[in-house]
Chain A
Amino acid sequence: MNINLTMIGQAIAFFIFVVFCMKYVWPPIMAALQERQKKIADGLAASDRAARDLELAQEKSAKELREAKQQAAGLIEQANKRAAQIVEASKDDARKEGQKLIEQAKAEIEQERNQARDALRAEIAAIAVAGAEKILETSVDANKHSEMLDKLAAEL
């Protein structure tokens, strides 16, 4: 067990190794480790942010869906109203048209009746005269009795 220069040699080697380790080994590896730690932390933060964004987007899309539904409901209601209006209007038109047609028909009927009545009247006078002739066995001078006949015809 001799204590000798080996001790000093070992101390010198130790010093050189520590300095080398301190300068060229420790810093780059530590830097890489810290950078990776930072990367992982950033990644986690980003994923958190993405999750929050997703939630926001979902909320937004739900809101928009709701609005769209409301809008669609409004449109349908409007359309229904408009349809009802159109139906109502066309019913009105139809009613008016019908009324007009009925009135027209009535007028025509009236006219026809008047014509028929006039014709009848003329004929009835002739029939009455003929009847009277048969009864009286004489001819009735139409001209003489025209006044009476007209009166009769007017009473019909």
Chain B
Amino acid sequence: MAGSASEYIQHHLQNLTYGKLPAGYERADGSVMSEAGWTMAHNAREASDMGFWAVHVDSLGWAVGLGALFLILFRMAAKRATSGQPGGLQNFVEILIEFVDTSVKETFHGRNKVIAPLSLTIFCWVFLMNLMDLVPVDFLPQLFHMMGLEYMKVVPTTDVNVTLGMSLSVFFLIIYYSIKVKGVGGFVGELTLHPFSSDNFFLKVLLVPVNLLLEGVSLLAKPISLALRLFGNLYAGELIFILIALLPFWAQWALSVPWAIFHILIITLQAFIFMMLTIVYLSMAHEDSH
């Protein structure tokens, strides 16, 4: 534990960032970039100065690794899937698949081959990413520190980029299916002619901006709330773990164990909520609600 408490916390909340710095930029060690180039950020200021052209290597690495773990596990089960007596892995996978399939069928009544596998991917992937929160907060960062990496944030869902990346993908799917099912006219009509409508043509035109504002906000709120709900829950959870880690080592268990047990619920619940809301939004996109 180096430095003061706030340094410790900030260090834990800093992503390992690889990005582009402009020419003439003064680095943390005092050197000056002779020309613009891609480099690893050495502190939080450098990372934030990289702006949009930067990648959180740790978030993305853990996210892709965990996603690959999920797919490898499920692909193994799928390859060996038998209609006879299932083995342990197949049983486990089948329980998850049936659970997701039931959730999808209860909410979504159309025909769509994408939604069920999409929901399964979201649920398992988000669950695994959340699960990293239960790894003791100093364990992996310390390990990577010894390997020479300054920063290491191991819970991808505490990175708003990760949750936004997923929720914006869902948002594009919502728009894609809205247009596919209702046509461009139908989709635009849904945004502009409701909830306020009139038989008078003039009044109808007058109400278009009001409707567009209301519907536009509610449409945009979907991906934002989806991303921020997951991010907020996990970020807060991670922060509390970090705060608990500031206590003397012999007292930490008294708080971290109850919080970890409670967090098991949050981890599962947030993964489930992300999946369920995705299904609900996509099923709304498929329906002519008005």
Contact = CB atoms under 8 A, between A and B. Distances in A.
B178 interface: no
A136 interface: no
Interface stretch (B75-83, B203-211, B240-248): B75-83
Contacts of B169: 11, 14-15
B120 A10 contact: no
A2 B113 CA distance: 35
Contacts of A30: 97, 101
B81 A9 contact: no
A25 B100 CA distance: 13
Interface string B29-45: 00000000000000000
B51 to A, nearest CB: 7
Nearest to B83: A35
A154 interface: no
Q: Is the interface of A mostly helix, strand, loop or mixed?
A: helix
Contact of A22 (B55, B63, B117): B117
Looking at A13, A28, A29, A33, which has the most chain B CB atoms within 10 Å of its CB? A29
A20 B71 contact: yes
Contacts of A11: 165-166, 168-169
Contacts of A17: 67, 70-71, 121, 125
B5 interface: no
Contact of A4 (B55, B79, B94, B114): B55
A113 to B, nearest CB: 110
Give the contact-size bracket for chain B: 35 or more
Contacts of B75: 20, 24-25
Contacts of B51: 2, 4
A108 B52 CA distance: 154
Interface string B58-85: 0110011001001100110111011110
Interface string B82-101: 11101000100110011001
Q: Is the interface of B mostly helix, strand, loop or mixed?
A: helix
Contacts of A35: 83
Interface string A23-54: 01110111111011001000000000000000
Given A4-B54, A25-B74, A13 B67 contact: yes
A107 to B, nearest CB: 101
A39 B84 CA distance: 9
Nearest to A20: B71
B116 interface: yes
Interface of B: 15, 17, 19, 47-48, 50-56, 59-60, 63-64, 67, 70-71, 74-75, 77-79, 81-84, 86, 90, 93-94, 97-98, 101, 113-114, 116-118, 120-121, 125, 156, 159-162, 164-166, 168-169
The 4 tightest CB contacts between A and B, nearest first, are A10-B165, A35-B83, A6-B161, A32-B81
Given A21-B74, A21-B118, A30-B101, 19 more contacts: A2-B54, A2-B161, A3-B52, A3-B160, A3-B161, A4-B51, A4-B54, A6-B56, A6-B161, A6-B165, A10-B59, A10-B63, A10-B165, A14-B67, A17-B70, A18-B114, A21-B71, A26-B120, A28-B79
